[in-house]
């Protein structure tokens, strides 16, 4: 079949070596001995070493887990900080016990290590399942059972139906008589349709272990490279006479690891790439740990608060020695120094005092914040899984959260990178209409009498000649790579109970179905002959001589066939831009009108042409094709040139229109993302015309969008492609700079004029841009390209290899301002970009689950991205940003009175609060209210968030964790902490606060401050709460009640394990004073008054705004833009 064109060309070994001189030795090729048998005892080949077949995706081993994991954890600033504090408490006499820092740190480190260890154990288990799986190798004419990891390059492997290929194999033979096999790559490149692969003609008959073991051959091929769709090689088959038969090998002969054998009993293949050199492994990027922007902000805030801590400790240490410069203050009569203290070096004592002050104030940076943040992320992720709007009845599944570390990042996305097929579209094609000689036909839904029908379901606007109609339909039945399977079920649509069409391209199936509806039925290929049933129910046979496969440069494909009477025809189908220049000008105009009209309707269009070839011309064509297909060096360029010469002087027959149905609400989702200020890029492996049509259909490109093309076609006009590319880049940049002179990443939406621009680039051109030579003027390609991309409203990248998708994402990630990127896809070819982006979304569709397994979040449909970002992402970010700011706020309120107290106790490191209060403040008294807030708060209704996408821009750029909001919270905490301390201090100017004249002591003073503190920070959170539930009420009022109960309980019992009963009856006695009650209430009101005043003023301002009907509760740290929602 596919090898028919080679005509069983046999070449003597000497002639083969002479013709291929130098190619064997060139860098970048390898020689593989089939079955690891030498072809002869006399010929010497250089020994080559190849890697084994083990797959390794795990991060740790048993030996390096502990040191490596601890190193990674202590890279966190907070963990490292608490480690230092713990060591200080252990080595220095400090006011607080080492347990207060050591126990929480040990808990956090242990839990994190267990979690990461378990995840890596799962990776080890998955690797072992693959590496230890059973395979069968042919050795000495016998099937030998082995583990997959023991496969070596050159081994002949037997694979049974429905098994996965254990490595990259060259197909030698199959269970079918014609040497074909059917493969699904749903777990590899996301395509659910069957792909047909072929064995070379000379090895088709080797269908048993005994016969395959007699094969003596070598395979010469390129070194491993990640492109799934490219392979260049040849097989040299040696007979007993040492004559070699050379056959070309291409992607159609290569079976990729991860693909699955379907509808074929078994195949034999020889391993050419194994283990980490397989194309699947080369396309897999290890899952690096992603960190959200919020976590980076936390680290920045920690540095600021660490500086505050060091400043406080330094000030107190300095003032202590200033205070002690007076001998009476240094050594009062009631506290004489020991001899050891007098002999201690003053510098050493100053250092230990500095460390003691650090320990005293270290609660300004609570380890409990990290525990709360982890709990918030883990528990909050369940809301995505529980969302009924994400449930899809078709697959009976909802959304899935694979990592909870990035919830808030969903609210910070700037760029969305999406796959096309299976993500934006359903990957379900339907034949809509066709045009023959300028006559349009549509509406055919049944097979009746074909195109000549004048009533019934057929609608035609004019009628073409009968012979031309039949020629067009024969072209549709012959010009394709569709195969037909009888009485088998495969991934694809079933024509009837008798047979099913399968193909790697669903639109080819749609065209064959369209021809069937018009009365011409493709009946499959048998022994290299294509069979077609015409409208008169007659069977026509055509010998398939050559297939000129589709490629992204030509944008067309052709077949050369011979009829039963010996006539030879070339049928060609392709994009209008690829076919029109190759047909007479006078034939173009009638068809062109229909093509343009169909394209505007969002249909995928193809033009169909043919030419008749004379026997003499065919002999020349056949000789050229055989020669270029055997080349190892520059094969693709040589084939492209020959194909280009063959596909000339054709005659246009007509055009087709096929609809690739968009996913439900895909266009509305992209509109919403654009309205939210997000830039959407489509990255697809599909051809440009198809992708462009989809982009128009899903409204990524509007009808008025001017498209700028950086494609192989646009730069091939010049002999030196880099020069032409440079010219285009400069030209496009000048055009866009005139339109948008001052627009930036964040403000590009506002800068748009009536004219919108879209950019289209293909994989080949992208490679030129990314790999441009540094010694040429094109070394700034990348920066110019990025400038162009930033000015365009949408970007389409077509013919992208998986790693190129990741390169695009990485390039945008590194832009100035570090925009947040999100990638969404459904196939394994999207895994690299999903792993590369800040947030990866997998579509749980029909095309395998590798993308969903490697993603951070997976959803059933593209439409679910709208709610995931605009509602869940928005709320997650607001909740956790408020949590982070609130934690630093309440701990500064907590520690500032402790700092001020040192000025009134001779800087003696005397704690203001009891040890129980120090321990319980972050763990019990103030932890649950903020956790409940961070899980349940909805400051804006979810329906409003989804219906008003521009609200998403209010939180973009990490707005709530910028310097402004941070300073606001810090100054608010400083104000309230000062009020707590000095308000209580002035109250104590009257030392007797009871009727009986009893005097309060320092623990009563600290307890009053602490009581005001707990009530103030809790009520502050109540003021910020917009969405009240019974849980909020329970934890807020319950926490305050628990504090009161605990204080009575703690001070009402003499605890035997305490050396000092300093809090005995303090709280109860304190509340027996009316003055204390009034002071507490008054200080709480004074502390919260600025907050209350600001909320009232903002609500008044909001109600007088131009959108009075949109009731949006305001947060003081919320960013407002000129969007009408202020």
pLDDT at 540 over 50: yes
Phi/psi for 584 (5° steps) reads -60, 140
What would the mean pLDDT of 852-863 be, rounded to a whole number?
84
Least confident of 149-158, 352-361, 865-874: 352-361
Q: How confident is the model at residue 12 (pLDDT cuts 50, 70, 90)?
A: very low
User: What is the rounded CA–CA span in Å between residue 554 and residue 572?
Assistant: 11
- Sheet containing 29-33, strands listed edge to edge, beginning at the edge strand earlier in sequence: 11-12, 243-249, 233-238, 217-222, 29-33
Beta-carbon contacts of 337 under 8 Å, excluding residues fewer than 6 positions away, are 331
Give the per-residue pLDDT at 992: 56
41 versus 794: the higher-pLDDT residue is 794
714 exposed, middle or buried (CB, 10 Å; 0-12, 13-18, 19+)?
middle
Give the per-residue pLDDT at 488: 46
Q: How confident is the model at residue 994 (pLDDT cuts 50, 70, 90)?
A: low
User: What is the rounded CA–CA span in Å between residue 13 and residue 54?
Assistant: 36
Q: ∠1114-1116-1120 over CA atoms, to 5°?
A: 70
User: What is the rounded CA–CA span in Å between residue 734 and residue 938?
Assistant: 46
Give the per-residue pLDDT at 777: 46
What would the mean pLDDT of 415-432 be, rounded to a whole number?
82
Q: ∠448-453-455 over CA atoms, to 5°?
A: 100
Beta-carbon contacts of 359 under 8 Å, excluding residues fewer than 6 positions away, are 85, 88, 89, 92, 94, 95, 96, 101
pLDDT, the chain, mean: 79
Give the per-residue pLDDT at 911: 82
Give the per-residue pLDDT at 129: 86
Locate 451 and state its tokens.
Answer: 């195109």
Q: How confident is the model at residue 496 (pLDDT cuts 50, 70, 90)?
A: very low
Give the per-residue pLDDT at 1021: 92
Q: How confident is the model at residue 285 (pLDDT cuts 50, 70, 90)?
A: low
Contact 33, 237 (CB under 8 A): no
Contact 879, 935 (CB under 8 A): yes
Q: How confident is the model at residue 1020 (pLDDT cuts 50, 70, 90)?
A: very high
1108 versus 365: the higher-pLDDT residue is 365
User: What is the rounded CA–CA span in Å between residue 489 and residue 497?
Assistant: 10
* SS3 of residue 654 by DSSP: strand
pLDDT at 182 over 60: yes
User: What distance, in Å, lies between the first and last C-alpha atoms of the chain?
Assistant: 68
Least confident of 35-39, 290-294, 1040-1044: 290-294
User: What is the rounded CA–CA span in Å between residue 521 and residue 777?
Assistant: 56
Contact 612, 569 (CB under 8 A): yes
Locate 579 and state its tokens.
Answer: 């076919």
996 versus 792: the higher-pLDDT residue is 792
Least confident of 149-153, 241-245, 400-404, 509-513: 241-245
719 versus 73: the higher-pLDDT residue is 73
What would the mean pLDDT of 420-424 be, rounded to a whole number?
78
Placement of tokens 């907070």 in the chain: 78
What would the mean pLDDT of 725-741 be, rounded to a whole number?
77
Give the per-residue pLDDT at 607: 92
572-583: per-residue pLDDT in tens? Answer: 998 887 899 999
Beta-carbon contacts of 548 under 8 Å, excluding residues fewer than 6 positions away, are 557, 558, 559, 560, 572, 643, 646, 647
Locate 1000 and state its tokens.
Answer: 């309060």
What would the mean pLDDT of 480-502 be, rounded to a whole number?
61
- In Å, how far are 464, 767, 1099, 1111, 1120 from 1107, measured between CA atoms? 60, 49, 13, 8, 14
586-619: per-residue pLDDT in tens? Answer: 888 888 888 878 876 667 788 999 999 998 999 9
Give the per-residue pLDDT at 765: 83
Tell me how long the chain is.
1126
Contact 612, 568 (CB under 8 A): yes
User: What is the rounded CA–CA span in Å between residue 92 and residue 86?
Assistant: 10
263-281: per-residue pLDDT in tens? Answer: 888 999 999 999 888 988 8
461 exposed, middle or buried (CB, 10 Å; 0-12, 13-18, 19+)?
exposed
pLDDT more than 70, % of the chain: 81
Q: Which of 168, 189, 414, 419 is catalytic?
A: 419
What would the mean pLDDT of 344-364 be, rounded to a whole number?
80
- Sheet containing 439-442, strands listed edge to edge, beginning at the edge strand earlier in sequence: 459-460, 439-442, 425-436, 651-662, 604-613, 568-574, 556-562, 539-548, 529-533, 521-526
Pairing of β 821-825 and β 415-418: parallel
Task: Give the start-end residues of each E strand in 849-930.
Answer: 857-859
User: What is the rounded CA–CA span in Å between residue 366 and residue 891?
Assistant: 7
pLDDT more than 90, % of the chain: 18
CB atoms within 10 A of CB 48: 11
Contact 387, 399 (CB under 8 A): yes
Give the per-residue pLDDT at 719: 60
877-887: per-residue pLDDT in tens? Answer: 999 999 999 99
Give the per-residue pLDDT at 689: 67
Pairing of β 180-185 and β 260-262: antiparallel
CB atoms within 10 A of CB 622: 16
pLDDT at 1124 over 50: no
Beta-carbon contacts of 611 under 8 Å, excluding residues fewer than 6 positions away, are 569, 570, 649, 650, 651
> In whole angstroms, what separates CA 291 from the centre of its chain?
14
- In Å, how far are 79, 97, 925, 926, 1069 from 920, measured between CA atoms? 20, 14, 6, 9, 21
Give the per-residue pLDDT at 1126: 32
Q: How confident is the model at residue 1030 (pLDDT cuts 50, 70, 90)?
A: very high
Q: What DSSP element (H or E) covers 427?
A: strand 425-436
Placement of tokens 């800087």 in the chain: 907
Least confident of 142-151, 321-330, 517-526, 728-737: 321-330
Give the per-residue pLDDT at 740: 63
Q: Which contacts qualify for 987-991: CB closer than 8 Å, 24 or more apart?
A: 987/1075, 987/1076, 987/1079, 990/1075
Q: How confident is the model at residue 355 (pLDDT cuts 50, 70, 90)?
A: confident
Buried/exposed 393-407: b ≥16 CB within 10 Å, e otherwise: eeeeebbbbbbbbbb
466 versus 845: the higher-pLDDT residue is 466
Least confident of 181-190, 804-813, 914-923: 181-190
Give the per-residue pLDDT at 935: 92
Give the per-residue pLDDT at 801: 76
Q: How confident is the model at residue 340 (pLDDT cuts 50, 70, 90)?
A: low
By C-alpha distance, which of 662, 695, 661 is closest to 681? 695
Q: Output DSSP code: residue 738.
A: H
**Percent of the chain as helix, strand, coil, to the nearest 5:** 45, 20, 35
Give the per-residue pLDDT at 552: 62
pLDDT at 641 over 60: yes
Give the per-residue pLDDT at 204: 87
Contact 804, 763 (CB under 8 A): yes
Q: ∠565-569-573 over CA atoms, to 5°?
A: 145
Locate 856 and state its tokens.
Answer: 């951070």
Active site residue 634: no
CB atoms within 10 A of CB 943: 9
Phi/psi for 102 (5° steps) reads -70, -40
25-60: per-residue pLDDT in tens? Answer: 334 788 899 888 887 665 655 666 888 898 887 888
Task: Give the start-end residues of each E strand in 832-897.
Answer: 839-843, 857-859
817 versus 944: the higher-pLDDT residue is 944
Give the per-residue pLDDT at 491: 42
212-264: per-residue pLDDT in tens? Answer: 888 888 998 988 888 777 888 889 888 766 677 888 898 889 999 988 898 88
Contact 556, 578 (CB under 8 A): yes
Q: How confident is the model at residue 115 (pLDDT cuts 50, 70, 90)?
A: confident
701 versus 829: the higher-pLDDT residue is 701
Beta-carbon contacts of 1122 under 8 Å, excluding residues fewer than 6 positions away, are 750
pLDDT at 642 over 80: yes
DSSP assignment of 695-717, as one string? HHHTTSS-TTPEEEEESHHHHTT
Q: What DSSP element (H or E) covers 192?
A: strand 191-198
pLDDT at 294 over 90: no
Q: What DSSP element (H or E) covers 382?
A: helix 382-386
User: What is the rounded CA–CA span in Å between residue 998 and residue 993?
Assistant: 7
């Amino acid at each position: 079949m596919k090898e028919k064109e080679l005509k069983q060309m046999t070449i003597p070994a000497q002639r083969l070596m002479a013709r291929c001189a130098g190619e064997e030795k060139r860098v970048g090729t390898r020689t593989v001995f089939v079955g690891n048998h030498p072809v002869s005892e006399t010929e010497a080949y250089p020994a080559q070493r190849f890697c084994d077949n083990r797959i390794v995706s795990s991060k740790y081993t048993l030996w390096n887990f502990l040191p490596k994991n601890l190193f990674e954890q202590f890279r966190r600033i907070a963990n490292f900080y608490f480690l230092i504090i713990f060591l200080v408490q252990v080595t220095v006499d400090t006011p607080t016990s080492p347990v207060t820092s050591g126990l929480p740190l040990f808990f956090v480190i242990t839990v994190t290590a267990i979690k990461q260890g378990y995840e890596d154990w799962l990776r080890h288990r998955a690797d072992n399942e693959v590496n230890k799986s059973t395979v069968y190798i042919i050795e000495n004419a016998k099937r030998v059972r082995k583990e997959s990891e023991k496969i070596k390059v050159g081994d002949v492997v037997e694979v049974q139906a429905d098994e996965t290929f254990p490595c990259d194999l060259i197909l030698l033979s199959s269970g079918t008589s014609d040497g074909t096999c059917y493969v699904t790559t749903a777990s590899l490149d996301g395509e659910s349709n069957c792909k047909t692969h072929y064995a070379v003609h000379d090895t088709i008959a080797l269908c048993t272990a005994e016969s395959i073991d007699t094969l003596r051959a070598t395979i010469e091929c390129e070194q491993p490279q990640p492109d799934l769709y490219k392979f260049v090689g040849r097989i040299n088959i040696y007979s007993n006479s040492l004559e070699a038969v050379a056959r070309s090998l291409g992607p159609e002969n290569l079976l990729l690891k991860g693909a699955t054998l379907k509808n074929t009993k078994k195949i034999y293949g020889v391993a050419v790439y194994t283990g980490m050199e397989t194309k699947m492994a080369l396309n897999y990027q290890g899952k690096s740990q992603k960190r959200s922007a919020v976590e980076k902000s936390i680290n920045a805030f920690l540095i600021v608060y660490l500086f505050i801590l060091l400043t406080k400790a330094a000030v107190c240490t300095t003032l202590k020695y200033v205070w002690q410069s007076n001998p009476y203050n240094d050594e009062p009569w009631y506290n004489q120094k020991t001899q050891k203290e007098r002999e201690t070096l003053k510098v050493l004592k100053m250092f230990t005092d500095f460390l003691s002050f650090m320990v005293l104030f270290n609660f300004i940076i609570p380890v409990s914040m990290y525990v709360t943040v982890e709990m918030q992320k883990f528990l909050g992720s369940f809301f995505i899984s529980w969302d009924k709007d994400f449930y899809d009845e078709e697959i009976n599944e909802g959304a899935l959260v694979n990592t909870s570390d990035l919830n808030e990042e969903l609210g910070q996305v700037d760029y969305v990178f999406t796959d096309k097929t299976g993500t934006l579209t359903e990957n379900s094609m339907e034949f809509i209409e066709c045009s023959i000689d300028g006559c349009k036909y549509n509406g055919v839904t049944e097979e009746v009498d074909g195109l000549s029908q004048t009533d019934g379901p057929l609608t035609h606007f004019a009628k073409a000649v009968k012979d031309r109609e039949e020629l067009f339909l024969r072209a549709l039945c012959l010009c394709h790579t569709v195969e037909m399977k009888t009485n088998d079920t495969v991934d694809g649509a079933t024509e009837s109970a008798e047979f099913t069409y399968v193909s790697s391209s669903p639109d080819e199936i749609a065209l064959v179905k369209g021809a069937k509806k018009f009365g011409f039925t493709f009946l499959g290929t048998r022994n290299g002959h294509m069979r077609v049933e015409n409208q008169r129910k007659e069977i026509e046979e055509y010998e398939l001589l050559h297939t000129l496969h589709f490629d992204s440069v030509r944008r067309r494909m052709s077949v050369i066939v011979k009829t039963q009477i010996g006539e030879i025809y070339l049928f060609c189908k392709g994009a209008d831009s690829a076919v029109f220049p190759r047909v007479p000008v006078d034939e173009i105009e009638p068809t062109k009108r229909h093509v343009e009209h169909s394209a505007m309707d969002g249909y995928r269009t193809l033009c169909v042409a043919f030419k008749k070839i004379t026997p003499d011309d065919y002999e020349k064509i056949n000789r050229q094709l055989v020669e270029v297909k055997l080349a190892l060096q520059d094969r693709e360029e040589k084939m492209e040139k020959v194909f280009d010469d063959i596909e000339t002087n054709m005659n246009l027959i007509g055009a087709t229109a096929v609809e690739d149905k968009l996913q439900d609400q895909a266009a509305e989702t992209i509109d919403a993302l654009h309205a939210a200020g997000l830039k959407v890029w489509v990255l697809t492996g599909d051809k440009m015309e198809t992708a462009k049509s989809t982009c128009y259909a899903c409204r990524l490109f509007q009808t008025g969008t001017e498209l700028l093309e950086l494609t192989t076609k646009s730069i091939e006009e010049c002999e030196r492609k880099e020069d032409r590319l440079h010219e285009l880049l400069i030209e496009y940049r000048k055009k866009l700079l005139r339109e948008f002179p001052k627009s930036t990443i964040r403000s590009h939406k506002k800068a748009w004029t009536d004219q919108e621009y879209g950019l289209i680039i293909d994989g080949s051109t992208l490679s030129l841009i990314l790999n441009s030579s540094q010694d040429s003027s094109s070394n700034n390609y990348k920066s110019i390209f990025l400038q162009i991309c930033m000015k365009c409203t949408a970007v389409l990248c077509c013919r992208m290899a998986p790693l190129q998708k990741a390169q695009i994402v990485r390039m945008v990630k590194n832009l100035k301002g570090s925009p947040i990127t999100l990638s969404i896809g459904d196939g394994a070819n999207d895994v690299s970009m999903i792993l590369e982006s800040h947030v990866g979304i997998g579509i749980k569709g029909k095309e395998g689950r590798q993308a969903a397994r490697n993603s951070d979040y997976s959803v059933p449909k593209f439409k679910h991205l709208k709610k995931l970002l605009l509602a869940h992402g928005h709320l997650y970010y607001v909740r956790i940003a408020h949590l982070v700011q609130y934690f630093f706020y309440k701990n500064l309120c907590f520690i500032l009175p402790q700092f001020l107290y040192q000025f009134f106790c001779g800087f003696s490191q005397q704690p203001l609060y009891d040890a129980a209060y120090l321990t319980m403040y972050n763990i019990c008294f103030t932890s649950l209210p903020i956790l409940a807030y961070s899980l349940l708060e909805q400051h804006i209704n979810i329906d409003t968030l989804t219906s008003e996408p521009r609200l998403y821009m209010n939180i973009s750029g990490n707005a709530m964790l910028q310097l402004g909001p941070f300073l606001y919270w810090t100054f608010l905490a400083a104000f309230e902490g000062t009020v707590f301390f000095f308000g209580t201090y002035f109250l104590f100017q009257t030392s007797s606060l009871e009727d009986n004249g009893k005097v309060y002591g320092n623990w009563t003073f600290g307890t009053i401050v602490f009581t005001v503190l707990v009530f103030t920070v809790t009520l502050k959170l109540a003021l910020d709460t917009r969405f009240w539930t019974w849980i909020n009420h329970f934890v807020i009022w319950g926490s305050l009640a628990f504090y009161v109960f605990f204080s009575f309980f703690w001070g009402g019992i003499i605890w035997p394990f305490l050396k000092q009963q300093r809090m005995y009856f303090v709280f109860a006695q304190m509340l027996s004073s009316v003055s204390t009650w009034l002071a507490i209430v008054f200080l709480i009101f004074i502390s919260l008054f600025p907050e209350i005043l600001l909320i009232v003023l903002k609500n008044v301002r909001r109600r007088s705004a131009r959108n009075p009907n949109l009731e949006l509760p305001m947060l003081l740290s919320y960013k407002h833009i000129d969007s009408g929602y202020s």
